[in-house]
Amino acid sequence: MRFLMGPWAVGLVAAGLVLPAPLRGEEATVPVAVQMDLLAKLIVYDRNLANRGGDQVVTLILVKSGHDESARAGAQALRTLGQKDEIALRRHAEELVTFVDAATLAQSCRTLRASVVYVTPGFSDAELSAIGRSLTGISVISAGAVASSARKGLVLSFDLVSGKPKLLIALGQAEKQQVSLSANVLRLMQVLP
């Protein structure tokens, strides 16, 4: 069987190979359902969780308009969390939020008393940085679906290391967002400055 590709097809393939990740869209390496399970287990160890939502854990699932992978990941996150009886021994609510801008997200976190913001794939480095800056001073755990999210401005992200899921935490951003995890939990994570 022979494949014939016109010049336009070769150009598209080449563009896909040389475009930087933010323009192609970085993909989640850890399945979304596994990320939600890890996140649900982790937040119970945050010393400031009770100050956020009291007896309820509110998770905002941030999706990017017009981005198919973001929509799929958001729906999967909503489905996975919705199947849990409790999160961190509390009742819980999840809300799918379409990203408008970082300031609007920060206001939603305050208004809804969000405990967690989960950022689906599809966001650029600049958007992740803006989200991180806007959440400074707000007591909320921000977690990104793609591995680079913690390096770009969020508190947590997920990566695959030797075939196993690994949590990454940006301690500087965690402090800015009043996330306080015990040293025992931090030992299980890859700690970033």
Q: How many domains does the chain have?
A: 1
Q: How far is CA 151 from the centre of its chain?
A: 12
Q: What is the pLDDT of residue 52?
A: 85
Q: Is residue 48 part of a domain?
A: yes
User: Does residue 178 lie within any of the structural domains?
Assistant: yes
Question: Is 179 within a domain?
Answer: yes
Q: Are 22 and 124 in contact (CB under 8 A)?
A: yes
- Quick one: which of 146, 140, 131, 136 has its CA closest to 173? 136
Range of the domain at 123: 26-192
- Whether 15 is in a domain gets the answer no
* Residue 93 is assigned to a structural domain of this protein: yes
Q: Provide the token pair at 71.
A: 């929509």
**CATH code assigned at 80:** 3.40.50.2300
Q: Give per-residue pLDDT as tens, 123-174.
A: 999 999 999 999 999 999 999 999 999 999 999 999 999 999 999 999 999 9
Residue 113 maps to a domain: yes
Is residue 4 one of the residues assigned to a domain? Answer: no
What's the mean pLDDT when you consider all of the chain?
Answer: 89
Bridge partners (DSSP) listed for residue 131: none
Element (H, E) at 184: helix 183-186
Question: Distance (Å, rounded) from C-alpha 148 to C-alpha 70?
Answer: 16
Single-letter amino acid, residue 66 = G
Residue 92, in any domain of the structure: yes
